[in-house]
Structure 1
Amino acid sequence: MIQEVLISNGNQMIKTYQSTPSADVIPFMQNLSGLSLTLIQLYNKEGKSLLNEKEWTFQIQPHDIERVIARDKATVINQADGSDSSPHAYSVPLPVIGIPFQANGQPYVLGVTVKQNSAGDETMNSIHLMYVIILFFGSFLILIAARYIVNPILRLTEATRNMAKGQFDIELPTKRKDEIGVLSASFNQMAKELGKLDRMRRDFVANVSHEIGSPLTSISGFTKALKHKQISEESRIHYLTIIEEESERLSRLSQNLLQLSHLQQDSQPLNINTYRLDEQLRKVVIALEPQWSEKEIEMDLQLESLLVQADEDKLSQVWVNLLSNSIKFTPVHGKILIKTMMKNNQNTVSITDNGIGIPEEEQEDIFKPFHKVDKARNSSVKGNGLGLSIVKQIVDMHQGDIQVSGKLGMGTTFEVKLPQ
């Protein structure tokens, strides 16, 4: 402990003096003062300090001197706390030790404490100043950083509120490369996708309303016409035929909507079995013979023998929908080519016709519900725009892929890839 060191140093000074009998105690102690890290002061029995104060020193009260002499042993007097106005005042309390001894038959007390290190004070002052500077600039930088972080979050919060109200045309700045920038970019992408879904929802409602409204209007109109008795039998049969066709159209629409909903919700699990894909395609071509024979379409089958593990009924619907579409839009005396092959370790089926084709800008949208390429086609080309959506959903359920290619006026190719 520091008190033990001070007592040891003080006793050593006293022993050094006592080993020199001819020395005068005051000059001797005066010379020792300041030679080490220990600061000393000499007191007589009345408590008067006897050494010149070359630098800041300390003062022991007379009653403390009397107490030390009375105890006749080293005593802790007080703590030097630097409360005076000296420039060398301590900032940390230091112990003061009083050690009694005899010189020339007179009692004295040697006061000992730690010598102040001015370089240490300057260092501590510099450190304190540095702390203040760091605190100031740190607070300033934290304020800037907080605004840099909080402002984008506030914008994101406001954008989220607007999105909750149905406003999806929102775009946050994404120039930042940090996590907030990534979050803003993700938010923009989410807003874009939600905007697409919202537009699809509105289009879906509008298309369903149109697809249901058109046949209902026809049925209602021709039913009113049948109420009039002054119509010929030929007209009556014609009106009833139209009503029947429009009713079938409504029935197909409701069935397709129900099937698409079930497929999207995965409510119908796949019934997987292994069968010959080429044989399935031959059966579909034979089943659709009345359609392509009526238009005198040439059917070219180039079918390799392929085994596939899939839901036979659902894939049969895929080929029926794709081939029916090709027949619809292939002109009289046209040609349809159906090929099966193993391509990149996948079972691949391609159906190519030389019909009206699909514009390249619309090829990405043809699998969306109710999308129709030929929006102005006449009523002889039946369909409600759900067939290809059902095809895409079934192919996706089989972990497969479907692609469309071709150009307007040069025919269309649908290529379906299924895993082995």
Structure 2
Amino acid sequence: MKSIKAKLIIGILLILSIFLCGIFTYSLTFKNYFQKEKLGEMEYVILEVEDNISNIYDIDVIVNKIAEKSNVQIDVTDINSGGVICSTHKNSRSNMMGNGMGMGGQNKLQTLEVLGTVNGIEREIIHDKASGVNFLTATKNNVEAGYTITVKIPINIMDDAVTKSLKLLMIIFLPITLIILVITMIFANMFIRPIIDIRKKTSKIRDLDFDGKLDIKGKDEITDLANCVNSLSDKIENTLIELNSKNLILQDLIEKERENEVIRREFVSSVSHELKSPIAVISGYSQALKEGIITSKEDVEYYISVIDEEADRMQVIVNDLLDLYKLESNTFRLEIKEVEIGNLVQKIIRKNLLRFEELNINVESNIENILVMADDIRLEQAVQNYINNALSHVDLEKCIKIDVIKRDRKVRISVYNSGEAIDDRNIEKIWQGFVRLDKVRNYKEKRVGLGLAIVKQIMKLHHGNCGVNNKDNGVEFWIELDIIT
């Protein structure tokens, strides 16, 4: 593939070749053209001489005047004797008279070429042996007047004119040609360099390399093209970045969807497992009572109490499921109002005092009364779930701490229980619901129910935060809300 620069050079050389061919053609045709022009002028001189000759006595003055004006040689000879009547050439008269009225002189003239006769005027190229000069001649015989008019011009004058004109053309043409070449190369480089830069840039774009911008100054189409390439590069780069970003988001969504599918399956399995145990107990105990296997009053009362406990357990699970469903639905709305968080937590502690005493739990608290905007019912549910979780997992030290502390522009409510730490790799799992604690906190046959999952959804609706921290000899669960300022 030829470059634009090569094409421009070829075009310039082609133009120069045309010029050279023109000069060569001119050199071949100009001499003939010049000869025809001179013959026309010579014919006009003959006619002028004829028109101005009134008598033979003033012929010299007239002929010399015309010859000087026209820059030609004129001979007027007797048509019968051939003798010279008048001649503008200084040697013609003496030569003619010295040779018997021109007879001998005719022997010194040699016809080289007959060009033909036009309007009674003979055209010839002759050679003067005496001077060694070739002449272009035009001769007319005026029979009535008895004389012959011959107009001559040396051929070398025409050759010199042709040579000089060619030299002049070359003198003019060569510098102009060089100037044109230099200017053309300069403009070619100015024109081609931006195109080369644009080609390199587009090649980089093809290879998805968007570094660097085209810096082409000007107000022409090439500058517009460069700006378009820059804009195209930016747009492609931004599009690729956006596509990569969306691809990552899509991959995350796909991965989360896979995780959610696993979670859903585990959730269904866990719910089934949670419900299966109380159902089995209720079914077995009720069947025993129905068939009369149990007869003693004490055993009957015990079986009935177990059935009631398992029914209550099932009721708690179902209620938690309903609460979680409501909180996760897009239609659930909180009843937001001003809440004195310290008073709310104190009320929750008082409600649980009996449980604390029954389990011999040592409860410590540090509570500040801080005003927040919240749904007090759902906020109480979240704190109660933390307390339930702490009661389920407190160790033999039986220590629970409940704090309400201001942190910058937020309030943190935390519930600490002494016990084993949670594996850092599994901290996120405990918020999913029905997670086996033997996987997470190494307790055998214990589970985290829906309580923590409900807390997470409640805080999400409040635009708050929740989390868990492993502490010395225990675990702290916390929630944070914005303070009213």
TM-score where L is the length of structure 1? 0.56
* Residue 288 (structure 1) shift: 2.1
1:219 corresponds in structure 2 to 279
Equivalences for residues 175-324 of structure 1 within 5 A: 179=238, 180=240, 184=244, 187-188=247-248, 190-192=250-252, 194-216=254-276, 219=279, 223=283, 227=287, 229=291, 231-233=293-295, 245-324=309-388
- On the 8 A contact 2:348/2:384 being kept in 1, the answer is yes
* Residue 200 (structure 1) shift: 3.0
CA RMSD of aligned residues (A): 4.2
* Residue 316 (structure 1) shift: 0.5
* Residue 411 (structure 1) shift: 1.3
1:119 and 2:179 are equivalent in the alignment: yes
* Residue 331 (structure 1) shift: 3.4
Equivalences for residues 75-90 of structure 1 within 5 A: none
Judged with a 3 Å threshold, the aligned counterparts in structure 2 of structure 1 residues 146 and 336 are, in CA distance, closer, same or farther, namely same
Letter in 2 for 1:232: I
Judged with a 3 Å threshold, the aligned counterparts in structure 2 of structure 1 residues 384 and 352 are, in CA distance, closer, same or farther, namely closer
1:142 corresponds in structure 2 to 202
- On the 8 A contact 1:226/1:236 being kept in 2, the answer is no
Judged with a 3 Å threshold, the aligned counterparts in structure 2 of structure 1 residues 397 and 125 are, in CA distance, closer, same or farther, namely same
Letter in 2 for 1:411: G
Judged with a 3 Å threshold, the aligned counterparts in structure 2 of structure 1 residues 267 and 149 are, in CA distance, closer, same or farther, namely farther
Using the alignment, how far apart are the partners of 1:267 and 1:367 within structure 2? 22
Equivalences for residues 16-415 of structure 1 within 5 A: 52-54=165-167, 56=169, 116=176, 118-125=178-185, 127-128=187-188, 131=191, 135=195, 138-139=198-199, 141-148=201-208, 179=238, 180=240, 184=244, 187-188=247-248, 190-192=250-252, 194-216=254-276, 219=279, 223=283, 227=287, 229=291, 231-233=293-295, 245-331=309-395, 334-375=398-439, 377=443, 385-407=449-471, 410-415=473-478
Using the alignment, how far apart are the partners of 1:303 and 1:315 within structure 2? 16
Letter in 1 for 2:259: R
Judged with a 3 Å threshold, the aligned counterparts in structure 2 of structure 1 residues 371 and 139 are, in CA distance, closer, same or farther, namely same
1:416 corresponds in structure 2 to 479
Judged with a 3 Å threshold, the aligned counterparts in structure 2 of structure 1 residues 88 and 129 are, in CA distance, closer, same or farther, namely farther
Q: Deviations over 1:149-191 (max 9, x none)?
A: 69xxxxxxxxxxxxxxxxxxxxxxxxxxx75467536633652
Judged with a 3 Å threshold, the aligned counterparts in structure 2 of structure 1 residues 351 and 225 are, in CA distance, closer, same or farther, namely closer
- On the 8 A contact 1:212/1:250 being kept in 2, the answer is no
Judged with a 3 Å threshold, the aligned counterparts in structure 2 of structure 1 residues 324 and 214 are, in CA distance, closer, same or farther, namely closer
The runs of 5 or more residues in structure 2 that have no matched partner are 1-67, 72-160, 211-236
Judged with a 3 Å threshold, the aligned counterparts in structure 2 of structure 1 residues 56 and 277 are, in CA distance, closer, same or farther, namely same
* Residue 326 (structure 1) shift: 1.0
Judged with a 3 Å threshold, the aligned counterparts in structure 2 of structure 1 residues 373 and 147 are, in CA distance, closer, same or farther, namely same
Judged with a 3 Å threshold, the aligned counterparts in structure 2 of structure 1 residues 241 and 377 are, in CA distance, closer, same or farther, namely farther
Judged with a 3 Å threshold, the aligned counterparts in structure 2 of structure 1 residues 224 and 400 are, in CA distance, closer, same or farther, namely closer
Using the alignment, how far apart are the partners of 1:141 and 1:339 within structure 2? 64
Using the alignment, how far apart are the partners of 1:221 and 1:56 within structure 2? 123
- On the 8 A contact 2:282/2:310 being kept in 1, the answer is no
- On the 8 A contact 2:382/2:458 being kept in 1, the answer is yes
Letter in 2 for 1:231: I
Judged with a 3 Å threshold, the aligned counterparts in structure 2 of structure 1 residues 283 and 24 are, in CA distance, closer, same or farther, namely farther
Q: Deviations over 1:64-115 (max 9, x none)?
A: xxxxxxxxxxxxxxxxxxxxxxx969xxxxxxxxxxxxxxxxxxxxxxxxx9
Could you say which structure has the greater relative contact order, defined with CA pairs below 8 angstroms and 6 or more residues apart?
A: 1
TM-score where L is the length of structure 2? 0.50
Letter in 2 for 1:142: T
Using the alignment, how far apart are the partners of 2:279 and 2:449 within structure 1? 21
- On the 8 A contact 2:401/2:417 being kept in 1, the answer is yes
Using the alignment, how far apart are the partners of 1:265 and 1:186 within structure 2? 27
Using the alignment, how far apart are the partners of 2:333 and 2:243 within structure 1? 37
- On the 8 A contact 1:360/1:407 being kept in 2, the answer is no
* Residue 195 (structure 1) shift: 1.1
Judged with a 3 Å threshold, the aligned counterparts in structure 2 of structure 1 residues 224 and 249 are, in CA distance, closer, same or farther, namely closer
* Residue 328 (structure 1) shift: 1.3
* Residue 242 (structure 1) shift: 5.8
Using the alignment, how far apart are the partners of 2:386 and 2:360 within structure 1? 18
* Residue 50 (structure 1) shift: 10
1:13 corresponds in structure 2 to none
- On the 8 A contact 2:278/2:313 being kept in 1, the answer is no
The runs of 5 or more residues in structure 1 that have no matched partner are 1-22, 27-47, 58-86, 90-114, 151-177
Structure having the higher helix fraction is 2
Larger Rg: 2
Using the alignment, how far apart are the partners of 2:69 and 2:246 within structure 1? 90
Judged with a 3 Å threshold, the aligned counterparts in structure 2 of structure 1 residues 331 and 137 are, in CA distance, closer, same or farther, namely closer
2:52 corresponds in structure 1 to none
Judged with a 3 Å threshold, the aligned counterparts in structure 2 of structure 1 residues 414 and 397 are, in CA distance, closer, same or farther, namely same
Letter in 1 for 2:167: K
- On the 8 A contact 2:406/2:412 being kept in 1, the answer is yes
Using the alignment, how far apart are the partners of 1:205 and 1:257 within structure 2? 15
Q: Deviations over 1:268-302 (max 9, x none)?
A: 22222223322211221222233222211122233
Judged with a 3 Å threshold, the aligned counterparts in structure 2 of structure 1 residues 281 and 259 are, in CA distance, closer, same or farther, namely same
Using the alignment, how far apart are the partners of 1:24 and 1:369 within structure 2? 127
Moved more, 294-303 or 251-260: 251-260
Using the alignment, how far apart are the partners of 1:25 and 1:213 within structure 2? 134
